[in-house]
Amino acid sequence: MMRKGIKILSGSASRDLARAICNELDRPLGAALVDRFPDGEINVKIEEDIRGCDVFIVQSTCPPVNEHLMELLILMDACKRASAERVTAVLPYYGYARKDRKDEGRVPITAKLVANLICSAGANRVLCMDLHAAQIQGFFDIPVDHLYASKVFLHYFARLGTKDVVVVAPDVGSSKMASSFAKRIDADVAIVEKRRVTPDKTNALKLIGTVEGKNCIIVDDMISTAGSIAEAAKILKEYGARELWGCATHPVCCGNAFKRLEEAPFREVLVADTIPLAPGAPEKVKVLSVAPMLGEAIKRIHLGESLSIMFDRL
């Protein structure tokens, strides 16, 4: 069948972002009812014709994760049964990603389980951003396009004109992200050796690299309890860093995150709008939009054009 135009729908997790993407593409957000039956079950109805359309469902699986994930699955099921020609799950934030391997006995691999669910529900493609681990792409047996919010952050720093920068990974896991960020601005890299004591408590043990008298940008994929980024900031100051910026794609921001960010010695903390920022964030938290990037990616996927080219230029 000939594929008709793009149709963008969203679940309740990503309404504002989906609207911003629609603005970029100069089209309205598709009409989809997503609410609850009296017993709490999710009630979905696509309220316009999508037969033959190239459908993109924008939904971050952010807290409440199970609700948002289930909304996404049900939306995809509805689109498939409404004869959409192709369904792309647009996952600005992919939750349940932490468990991506069996690193101890008798634990699940939730990142794979959720990928299986998304494929079974009817996704033909996935468009995501800064996965917790890039290899999660391989958990889907359908095409996955993986975007990087660093482009938006790099633009911000280019405008700011910050000099003498060291890019810091708050743990060894983030070191790849930090070095590709650093490469783009020709900066050095430092790595904090972190130990997680409990799910919401981390200790920064030591610093690998030199930061004395330098402006530091800590980059990470997400801020959850803000333990990692706040501990990293503390140790950087102990080692003589000058100004500090935090930079994380996904502002999950749960527990004491805002209090920790408030108390940490950051000049600014930049996050993307992959997850709506909860009310009460300290003023130093600044949201940069990835809607233009997602909009361009959606347009390119629809037209069958390269996405890598988006990252060749800053």
- The stretch among 30-38, 102-110, 136-144, 215-223 that binds ligand R5P (CB under 6 A) is 215-223
Is 194 a known active-site residue?
A: yes
Q: How far is the CB of 230 from ligand R5P (least distance, A)?
A: 8
95 belongs to the binding site for ligand R5P (CB under 6 A): no
Shortest Å distance, C-beta 92 to ligand R5P: 16
Contact by Cβ (8 Å): 228, 195 = no
When the beta carbons of 215 and 224 are compared against ligand R5P, the nearer one is 224
Cβ–Cβ under 8 Å, residues 267 and 250: no
Specify the residue, 59 or 225, whose C-beta has the smaller distance to ligand R5P. 225
Encoding tokens for residue 27?
Answer: 């089209």
CB of 224 to ligand R5P, least distance (A): 3
DSSP per-residue codes, 137-199: GGG-SS-EEEE-THHHHHHHHHHHT--SEEEEESSGGGHHHHHHHHHHHT-EEEEEEEEEEET
What is the total residue count of the chain?
314
227 binds ligand R5P (CB under 6 A): yes
Q: Is 228 in the site for ligand R5P (CB under 6 A)?
A: yes
The one-letter amino acid at 221: D
Q: Count the alpha carbons within 13 Å of 309 in the hemisphere toward its beta carbon.
A: 8
Per CB under 6 A, which region of 41-49, 146-154, 168-176, 278-286 contacts ligand R5P?
168-176
From 18, 144, 226, 261, residue interacting with ligand R5P (rule: CB under 6 A): 226
Shortest distance in whole angstroms from residue 203 CB to ligand R5P: 11
CB of 202 to ligand R5P, least distance (A): 5
CA–CA dist 68, 78 (Å, integer): 15
Strand 201-208 to strand 215-223: parallel, antiparallel, or no bridges (unpaired)?
A: unpaired
Please tell me whether residue 221 binds ligand R5P under the rule CB under 6 A.
Answer: yes
- Near ligand R5P by CB under 6 A: residue from 69, 192, 222, 241: 222
Residue 192: which of 157, 163, 165, 166 has the closest Cα? Answer: 166
251 belongs to the binding site for ligand R5P (CB under 6 A): no
Q: Which of 112, 163, 176, 194 is catalytic?
A: 194
> Of 45-53, 59-67, 114-122, 225-233, which part binds ligand R5P (CB under 6 A)?
225-233
Task: Say how many C-beta atoms besides its own lie within 10 A of residue 303's C-beta.
Answer: 9
Phi/psi at 67 (nearest 5 deg)? -65, -50
Contact set with ligand R5P (CB under 6 A): 170-171, 173-174, 202, 220-228
Residues labelled as active-site residues: 194
